[in-house]
Chains A and B, each alone.
Chain A
């Protein structure tokens, strides 16, 4: 069960039950976001090291807010200011942070496998906030929560993921998660960014280079951002991308009438997504953000909140605990 998993490094290794557990545990935190007073003492005295080796504003603020609302402190490492620029290795940077004895790490890094690398070298829980092109598990979890809330269930949907798939950790995590819930997944984007090997990493995955075909019968459309910072090949002109792959209102009409539109953010309005769609009734982009906070609070509560082995004995009241 997740409750005894030491880290959250990816979705690929989680079971359906573990995923459902996280989503269920996020629910109290969704309600909590509506409280006038959003401050708990649950993780008071705990500190979370937010080690963001790759720049990110939204995810970092989301985790920092999640920690703060649980009453925990955060130690903030940001890439621009980091000692990595001075040539310090990741191993040494992590050891330095660990010497300040945080109760957990949240890691974002530009190398695939970085979260696992760090998890092998520290003694506290590690939460992967995005490692290179590999996984972004909290994004997939908040997407799943949004789908379940908006559509009433998580199983059996037709899901279309649009964009730069090969470089996307969001795509991989979502493919792993949704395929565990019987989704039929269609990947669509410029062919050099949607290699056939994706059809082999999870069941019921197919790809197409034609957006109209991809959207037909779609219940959920996930739009990825165009990752200009990660391209190794000659860049595609924005006009080409818009012409072939932008999610416009007309194209969205080809999907099911009640299709949900998701985007991990940040959006480039007018590039991968038509602003009218981004702001339209089918878009759940803002709920994704709120749900992100709830999911991350639930994960920090369970992973960082857990006591180390040498914690003092449980208090008396637990014998009469309202369990």
Chain B
């Protein structure tokens, strides 16, 4: 089984413009909400949430708190062969109670990650509202999950993988569509 790059979905420039647009959208649709906060889903949701917060500060002067959420303990697909995934810490230094939360992730696919994120979130407290922001929505939902803020919607097949590469994590900046091919 090999992985073959098919095409680029977003360039570095396009990622930057998309995030700017998403930051504006979130602000617009949270007008006046003094309790807005962003929660990045580990791993790549975290730098995305941090960039969104920075953009919000630059454009509206708002200080939106950012937390990180590790959802490993809440996954429902842990019937893995072999070792358990390594756990990381969540890091939320504000209270979740009564907050207007936007959960941020790189790709929305089956919806299971977001379900896990919701479970994690509700163990921490009772937010007032939870909405989802993703860079890419690739369809194939298996659960009733929808994103309010979407960077780009992409049609994909089952064997394809959407690879989001961010400079903070991967040292490069682009979104690729890759395919799994048998040898």
Interface residues of A (CB under 8 A from B): 1, 3-4, 25, 27-29, 31-32, 35-42, 298, 301-302, 305-307, 309, 311-323
Contacts and interface: CB of A to CB of B under 8 A. Distances in A.
Given A27-B89, A39-B123, A320-B162, 5 more contacts: A36-B123, A40-B73, A41-B74, A317-B110, A322-B45
- The contact size tier of chain B is 35 or more
Interface in B44-94: 44-45, 70-71, 73-90
A28 B138 CA distance: 31
A321 B162 CA distance: 11
Contacts of A320: 107, 109, 113, 138, 161-162
Interface string B127-151: 0000000000010101000000000
A323 B79 contact: no
A74 to B, nearest CB: 19
Interface of B: 41-45, 70-71, 73-90, 105-107, 109-110, 112-113, 119, 122-125, 138, 140, 142, 158, 161-162
Given A317-B113, A319-B161, A320-B162, A31 B90 contact: yes
B180 to A, nearest CB: 8
A35 to B, nearest CB: 5
A315 B112 contact: yes
B74 A3 contact: no
Please report whether the interface of chain B is mostly helix, strand, loop or mixed according to DSSP: loop
Q: Which of A39, A41, A298, A309 has the most CB of B within 10 A?
A: A41
B87 A322 contact: no
B107 A28 contact: no
Nearest to A314: B80
A311 B81 contact: yes
Contacts of A32: 73
B89 A307 contact: no
For the complex of A and B, 10 pairs with smallest distance between CB atoms: A315-B77, A3-B83, A37-B123, A28-B87, A317-B110, A305-B84, A317-B112, A42-B73, A322-B43, A311-B79
Contacts of A301: 73, 84, 87
Contacts of B123: 35-40
Contact of A302 (B83, B113, B119): B83
A315 B138 CA distance: 16
A198 B76 CA distance: 47
Contacts of A316: 109-110, 140, 142, 158
A185 B15 CA distance: 56
Contact of A322 (B110, B113, B124): B113
Nearest to B138: A320
Nearest to A310: B81
A307 B88 contact: no
13 contacts: A4-B82, A25-B86, A25-B87, A37-B123, A41-B74, A301-B87, A305-B84, A314-B79, A315-B77, A321-B113, A322-B42, A322-B43, A322-B106
